Structure formats: C-alpha cells, structure tokens
Structure 1
Amino acid sequence: MATTETEFVTAPSTPEPDTLQIVVEQKLRRQQDDGDVGGSSSSSMTIFRVPAHVRDASKDLYEPRLVSIGPYYRGRDELRTMEQHKWRYLHELLAQYTEASLADCVSAVRDVEHQARRCYSERTDIFDDSGDGFAEMLLLDGCFVLKFFINWYARVPDKLCDVGWGLPQILSDLELMENQIPFFVLESLYRALSPDAANIRLDLLMLIVPKFGLDNWTLCKQLLDGVLLPTQAEEMEIDHLLHLLYLAFVLTAEELEAIPASPTLLARCVSWLRQMWLSFNTAVSVRFAFVRDMPRVPGWTRLCTFMAFVHKVSAWFTKLLALIRVNNTRTEQDEEEPPEPPIMVVPNVTLLREAGVRFETKASARHMLDVTFDAARGVLRMPRVKVDYADKAQLVNLIAFEQARGSSSNGNNKLLSSYAALVGSLVRTGEDVEHLKRHDVIDNLLSCDHDAATEFFQRLGDCSSLDYSEEHHFAGMFEDLSQYYHSSWQRHKAKFVRDHCSSPWAVLAFVVAGCAFFFALVKFSTTIYSLSHPYCHCLVLASATSSMQMCHVVVPRKIIIY
C-alpha cells in the first residue's frame, strides 16, 4: 500500500529550555532583586576589596585582628569572640536609650537593608542566605560601632577597651577598608535611638571625628570649635568610617590652593639673578662711594655713548631675526614634537645628598603633604614623619580607599598616592632613613632603619596606581629634583663643599693652601717680570747700591765732626 506524503508530517514541537539557561535566569533575577545588577548599582558600590595579591602579601594590614565589621570577615574563628561583646553592646545600648526599643532598631535596619546590599562590591555567603543574616549583621555591627564611640566620648569604663591593646586595636580594625558598613546604617540606627536629636549627622561627627587623633586638621578644628554648620555637615558625602577619616585627613581643594606652589626653574633663576644684582649693586655703592665724587672723564661719556649705540644696533638685529624666524615658521609646517614623558622616579636621599640637596624639617607644616623643594638653595623641606606600624596600616588603607574612589576623591588629585610615590622614591635604604633621622625628618619606631625603608616606605604604594602626567601632585617637584641632580655645576659645588668645608680644620687648611698658592703666584709673576725686563732690574739694583754707598759715606763724616 503506497503511503502519502501527508502521513509523515508532524506538528512542530516547542524546544524545552536548557538547564543552564534556567540556572542563569534564576541567578540574574536574584541579583537584580538584591540590587547588584542595574543602572545604578555600579555607582552605589562604596565598600571594595583590596586586590588579592596585595592582601595576601600583607594580611595584617588589611584584615581585622580583633573585630569584624561587615560581611567580608564575618564568621572567622579568630574573630568570633567579639560576637559576644556585640550582643552585650546591643543590650547596654537599649538600656541606655530607654526611649527606643528593639523594634525601632530593627525597623531602622530594615529600611536601609536593600540599599546596604548594593554598597558591597563582592558577595559572600551571607548575601545568598534567605534568612535575616544580613539584617542581623547590620544591627549588631552598627550598634557595636555606635556604643564603642559613645563610651569613648563619655569616658564610660569598659573592660574591653580598658585593656592596653583593646582600644587601639579596635580603632585600627574600624579603619580598615574591607571592614566597613555604610554610614547611613549608623545614621538610621542613631535616629532610632535618639528621635529627638536636632541633627543626626552633626552629632555623629562630634562622636567619631575627634577620636581619630587629628586635632590640628581642619574638620576636627571646625567640630571642636563649633564652626561647622549643620547644613555643611548634611552636604558632606560620607560612605563609611574610612571615608570620614579620609575627609578629615586629606587636604580640601581650598587648603591645597592655599599652599604656595613652588615656582618654575626659570622664575627661580630670574629671581636669583635679580637678588644677586641688587646685592652686588648695594655692596658697590657702599664700599666704593668715593667714586661718585671723582670728576668724570670725557672719555667715559664717549664710551657710554658708543655702548648705547651698539646696544641699539644689537636690539634692531634681534628684532629682525625674530621677524625672519616667525615668517619661516608660518611658511614651513613643522610637525609638533611629542611632549616629554613625565619623570616617574627621582634619586634617593643618598644620591641627592651627593648633588648638594639638603633635607630639613618643616617646622610650620600644616599637613604631611606640605612638602616643598627650594631649587635655588637646594633644600627639600618636609614635615616630620613618624614611622610606626599603626600609622602604616592607616596610611595603606587610606591609599587603597583613594584608589577605589578614583581621581574625584575630595575633588583633588590622588594626594596620598602621590605622597607614597614621593617617599618611596626618596627612601630606599637604611642609609636614607639614618640621614633623615639626623635632620629630625623621620622618627623611626621600628626595629631598625632597614625595616623602616623596606617595610614601611617601600610598601606604602603596593595598592596604588598613578598617572604621573595628570594625577601626580608632586610631578613638578620630581622634575625639579631630577634637574638639580643632573646639573654638573651643583654636583661639583657639592663635592667642593663636602671635601673642603666639612669641618673648621678643613676650612682652615683650604685658606692656608689658598694663601700659599697666592704668594707662590705672586713670586712666580715677579720672577717672570724680572726675567722679561732685565734693564729695569739693573736700574733697581743700581739705585739700591748707590743709596747704600751714600749712607756709607755720610755717616762716617758726621762721626768725624762730632
């Protein structure tokens, strides 16, 4: 029996979705619900992780050692002891603020939970937890931070902080880049605890900022003096505690402009020549004042007239050559020369000393970034630097935060990264540290100078990348130091001062040698003159002989008379 063509036609079937597609769609939907994917999620990230290779090389600088804040280090075995103190702090905080209840704090955390999830750049297991683990973390960590600063501000005795290592260690952990919670979580909890507070932001700043130990910095002075207005506090963009420390530590744009910039090399040379001419003119006017009273010789007038005419002719030829050069430039289209690459490294302290650079402490320094170089005198002035392990952890985390913020941090260039590049180039060996210690520029609290050079200054920039042409704050100083170092005149002058003026005895020996050379030169010149003018020499001898004979004749006659 023959089959027809229509018997083999089947209805089209819908292909079943692949399991991979289902899994990916579920994960995308979950991440969208958490706020990790979307139009504004990239700008919402404020708490980042340090690169793994940097963190693994120096875990003690980037990882907490006593208390974990946030999701990145939550649940570690060595940090679980502080979880009990977090519950204790929550209980004491609720007992202290009787107007607030636990329900108010939970409601405050729930209001900002979704926004806080979007602030972290890396997901952990607590983000995938379907329960309330993330909200519980925000509640416990936020209340712990608030209670810690409240006790410190009110000087409430606490066994945890009264231990010698407790207070500085907790404060150091709260300043780590990866150990943060959003600042608006603290504001929401503090608003729930103190609903009658006039200005939540200003009250929190008064609690936290003075405890950073930056009393001489602008933000601390404004808070302590009561100058900071509530509107100014509200306008401040604060992501977390480390960001607040950065705002209090780094110069603002107004303060940066107030620091006088070092003049260019051409301007310094012109100023130096002008000062030398004024000094020379003053010295000549004082020491040779009698010249003004002498009658003027007519030949001087003619000479001055001739020199003025020569000056006018030379000026006319100069203008003519400049006009010809401009015409040639307009007719010939020369290719523009590419700009010179920026100087990325400068010689260290030992090499700069050989070129004559002197290092001094800046007594009136307003900030650690107030570093200046006077190329006319060859003096590099910088504030006193305390080399300590606690300061190192604070600096490297501030630099890491500055890198995460980009060039827009505080409206300035990468100031701390520029400072790390500067001191990393200057201080490379223990000899550099020893020399700076002798001039009170460095106060080394580490075991030896070699550790200060290799473990402190050389490691500050491990987490920083810098565009030396646009973001480097000390790019002009790098250029001036390089030009000063490669100047042969400066190197020879420094060698002369080092060899002949290093001590009073060396100066005395040089003066004696100079006098001996001068007298030898005079003796040599008189000898040459006598050989080249023998007749004058004979006349001098003859006159001397005749005078001696006259004396010999006259004296005896007087004796005979008397």
Structure 2
Amino acid sequence: MAEESGKDELSVNIDEMLHEFSYTASRPSTPFIYRVTDSLRSTKETEYDPIIISIGPLHHGKHNLQAMEPLKMWYLKKLLGDSSVDSYVQAIRSNEQTARDFYAEKIELNTDELVKMLLLDAIFIIQFLREYDKELGVQESKGDPIFGFEHVKSHILRDLMLFENQIPMFIVRDLFQLSNHDNQEFKYLFWPLFQHRRDVPTVLPEAHHLLGLVHAVKFCSSVQQLLRRIDKPIEMENILSATELRAAGILFKKNPENENGKDPSLLDITFKNKTFCIAKLEMTDEMESWLRNMIAYEFYLPRNKPKCISDYAFFLKCLMCSSEDAELLRHYGVISNCLGGDARVYEVIDRLMTNVFTSKKFLYLGVFDSINNYSKRKRNRWFAVLRRHHFNNPWTVISVVAAAVLLSVGIVQMVIAILSFCKLSC
C-alpha cells in the first residue's frame, strides 16, 4: 500500500485533494441565500418550493414553473419599449461574481445564462410590484394575465417570500434605478410585500434579498421593544398551555389596533393584570408558508442575532399543546382559523418548531416569567384545580350549585328548628 517515497497511498491522495481545494479562498465567508436545510424540509417540503414562478437559480428551469417565463420576457419588453437592453445587461455583468457569491452553493449557469436569468427575474419583480394595486384588488391592466386573476397574484406574492426563491437585492436596486423614469422612491416599490402603504419605513433597512427586507421592516422595532422588557437575568421555563392558563384564571385578549391605525405587530405579546394580550394570527396556507420561510431564513442568521419568528413559533408551541388549546384561542379571537379545524392549526404549529432553534436571548423571557409567577401562586393553583376537577363541564357546575342550594336550605331549616325548640323551652 505504501509508495516508493514511503508515504501511505491514502495520505498522498488527501495531500493532493488539499492542494487542489480552494473553496474558502474563492467564496465569501458568509453567503446570504441557501438551500433550506433537510431538517426543516422534512416536516413539509412543499412549503419551501415555488408554486408558479422561479426567482433566482435554485429553482430555475423546473418544468412546472415554465409557464411564467414568457411573462418575464413580456414585462421586460413593456419596460424597454424600443430601447436597448444593453445598459441593464452591463449593470449585471459587471457584478456577476458578487451575485454568484450570494449563494451558498455553486451556481452551474455560465455567465450569459446567469446574467439573463437575473435580468428577467429582477425586471419581473420591479414591474410586478410597480403595477400591483392592492386597494383595487384586481389590476385593470388590459391583457395582463397576472392581475386579471386573483389566485395568480396571490401565488406570486407567496413565491416572492420563499427563502430559496431570492436574488441579490443590489441587482433589484440597480435595475430599478436604471428604469426609474418617474422618480419613484425605491422604498415605495415594496409596499405590497409589507401589506400596507403605511408600513413603508422612513428609511429602508439594509437587506440582502426581499425576504430579508420584509423580515427587517416588519419585526426590527418589535424585537428592540421585547429585548428592553427583559430587565433582569431570568432562567428559561416554559409556560403552561392555553387551557391550563385559563384554568389558573388567566384571560386572553386580542391586541387592538395601534393609535395610528396600524395592525399590532405579530410579535407584540404582553401579560398584565392577569390578561394575556396577543396579536391576532390568521392561520392560512399562505401564513404557514410565510412563517416556515422566515424561520428558514433565521436558521442561517448568526447566533447572536435575534430569531424573532422562531421565538414566536416556540411561544405558540408552548401555548398550543392540543386542539383544545387552539379552540380556546380561536374563541378569544387570538386565532382566525382558515385551515379547516382546530386540530389542523395545532398540527401546523406543532410541526413548525421541529428542528428549530430559538434566539440566544429568548425574546419572551419576561412574558414567560410573569405568567409563571402568576400561575404558581397557591391561590391560583387552588382555583385551577377546582376549575379542572369540579367545574370542567356545565352539568358539574349545575350539580355543585344544586348541592349548595340544598345545603343552604338544610341549614336554614336546622336554624329554624333550633329557634323553635329554644322558644318552646322558654
């Protein structure tokens, strides 16, 4: 097995491999777009795959997504008119390697293929968002096969929020500037992704792709507020389920709108005066996909960065340990169920946290601590046991009330009898 040099043959092979290995030298230390890890995909693979359109190289060329490719070319033609595409091509070509380095895996497309794909995908994003009009519901653009059908528009918005279906934000920004003939501010392009025009921030935060932008805009301020509420070192201890907390006397309430008319942040959860205030969660298929892809995005964030959606999902998992918990939260208006049953909501939340890591500093430590302190008090525990074992259904309550009435009548009769006896004795 040994060669003439005296070296082991395996050692020689490994030495040659190390000599040729140059991955770390040619790629950035931190890419920004990854494949969703198998540990997350295993719970529900379809939630990470595009339904109608591919954006970026990871799903490029899939047979079931080819119907949208001519529409990308159509949007480009509408944008250019009789102008040349050359300035757009050169803007991407000059940054081709930077774009490749955004992806954690090697992109097999050659230079021309990659530039063409990025051009068509970026222009599609820009033109789709420009023509989107949420207030009208359906765009009256004559001959537009996207805005003429609500389900097509909905599927595209969903696909734009997939972790694997992203292109570098700087490509979108550069092509927007080249095509911005109306002096529109770049930040207003994205309001359909934020759901409301009023949600557009004063300053657009730095983000590497669309999903990262929405994550930063919708949750950064809420994260800072949550972190400020943790004013002391607290040992992590899970809270009881919704039905157990209700038995301990804790009430649930849907968070009202903010003073400026905005819906409360999904992350805004408080506990005060034995009342649990939680933002309403509309459980739909789109929401499940959105939550899963936000969690997938957070999976690759540095350990010291808050993983706010992962923390929120863990909170939901602690709160919902059964379909009865989901039913209770729906009763209080905290959950709006469009999935077809409370058991379905419980199953979605239960699977959502499979192989998911929370923040190094869990965002709801303060809330958990306050709830646990309340539910551990002797009086609250006693009432919880009383409710669970003696007032857990209407017939039990009726029986207890009837027994109390009979006992009271018996006591009254006994008192009357004693008074009568005393009167006769005198």
Q: Same fold (TM over 0.5)?
A: yes
TM-aligned CA distance change 1:418 to 1:525, over 3 Å: farther
Which of 107, 111, 121 aligns to 2:94? It is: 111
User: Is 1:372 aligned to residue 270 of structure 2?
Assistant: yes
In the other structure, the counterpart of 1:342 is: 236
TM superposition shift of 1:50: 1.4
TM-aligned CA distance change 1:67 to 1:518, over 3 Å: same
**C-alpha distance in 1, partners of 2:18/2:419?**
104
TM superposition shift of 1:175: 0.6
**Correspondence 1:42-53 to 2 at 5 A:** 42-43=29-30, 45-53=31-39
TM superposition shift of 1:416: 1.5
In the other structure, the counterpart of 2:84 is: 101
**C-alpha distance in 2, partners of 1:500/1:462?**
35
What runs of 5+ residues in structure 2 fail to find an aligned partner?
A: 1-11, 134-138, 259-263
Identity %: 25
Partner letter of residue 120 of structure 1?
Y
In the other structure, the counterpart of 1:81 is: 67
User: Is 1:457 aligned to residue 349 of structure 2?
Assistant: yes
Aligned residue for 1:64, secondary structure, equals: coil
Q: Which has the higher contact order (CA 8 A, sep 6+)?
A: 2
**C-alpha distance in 1, partners of 2:391/2:214?**
50
Which of 184, 189, 194 aligns to 1:212? It is: 194
In the other structure, the counterpart of 1:292 is: none
**C-alpha distance in 2, partners of 1:88/1:527?**
101
TM-aligned CA distance change 1:501 to 1:55, over 3 Å: closer
For normalisation by structure 1, the TM-score amounts to 0.63
In the other structure, the counterpart of 2:225 is: 257
**C-alpha distance in 2, partners of 1:263/1:494?**
29
TM superposition shift of 1:155: 5.7
- 1:172·1:390 contact (CA, 8 Å) conserved in 2? yes
TM-aligned CA distance change 1:514 to 1:384, over 3 Å: farther
For normalisation by structure 2, the TM-score amounts to 0.81
Moved more, 482-491 or 457-466: 482-491
Which of 156, 177, 184 aligns to 2:141? It is: 156
Aligned residue for 1:490, secondary structure, equals: helix
TM-aligned CA distance change 1:119 to 1:78, over 3 Å: same
Aligned residue for 1:243, secondary structure, equals: helix
**C-alpha distance in 1, partners of 2:336/2:165?**
29
**C-alpha distance in 2, partners of 1:24/1:263?**
50
User: Is 1:392 aligned to residue 288 of structure 2?
Assistant: yes
**C-alpha distance in 2, partners of 1:416/1:362?**
18
User: Is 1:190 aligned to residue 176 of structure 2?
Assistant: yes
- 2:281·2:334 contact (CA, 8 Å) conserved in 1? yes
Aligned residue for 2:50, secondary structure, equals: coil
**Correspondence 1:236-275 to 2 at 5 A:** 236-252=205-221, 256-257=224-225, 261=229
Aligned residue for 1:159, secondary structure, equals: coil
Which of 398, 403, 406 aligns to 2:302? It is: 406
- 1:108·1:192 contact (CA, 8 Å) conserved in 2? no
**C-alpha distance in 2, partners of 1:433/1:184?**
42
**C-alpha distance in 2, partners of 1:353/1:491?**
11
TM-aligned CA distance change 1:186 to 1:262, over 3 Å: closer
TM-aligned CA distance change 1:67 to 1:340, over 3 Å: closer
**C-alpha distance in 1, partners of 2:231/2:416?**
49
Partner letter of residue 114 of structure 1?
Q
In the other structure, the counterpart of 2:22 is: 28
**C-alpha distance in 2, partners of 1:262/1:27?**
46
**C-alpha distance in 2, partners of 1:428/1:56?**
21
**C-alpha distance in 1, partners of 2:288/2:13?**
50
**C-alpha distance in 2, partners of 1:517/1:490?**
31
TM-aligned CA distance change 1:105 to 1:484, over 3 Å: same
Moved more, 102-111 or 504-513: 504-513
TM-aligned CA distance change 1:461 to 1:19, over 3 Å: closer
| Number of aligned residue pairs | 402
- 1:356·1:491 contact (CA, 8 Å) conserved in 2? no
For the pair shown, the structure with the greater C-alpha radius of gyration is 1
What runs of 5+ residues in structure 1 fail to find an aligned partner?
A: 1-17, 223-227, 265-338, 531-536, 545-562
**C-alpha distance in 1, partners of 2:402/2:230?**
38
TM-aligned CA distance change 1:477 to 1:42, over 3 Å: same
Which of 97, 115, 129 aligns to 1:135? It is: 115
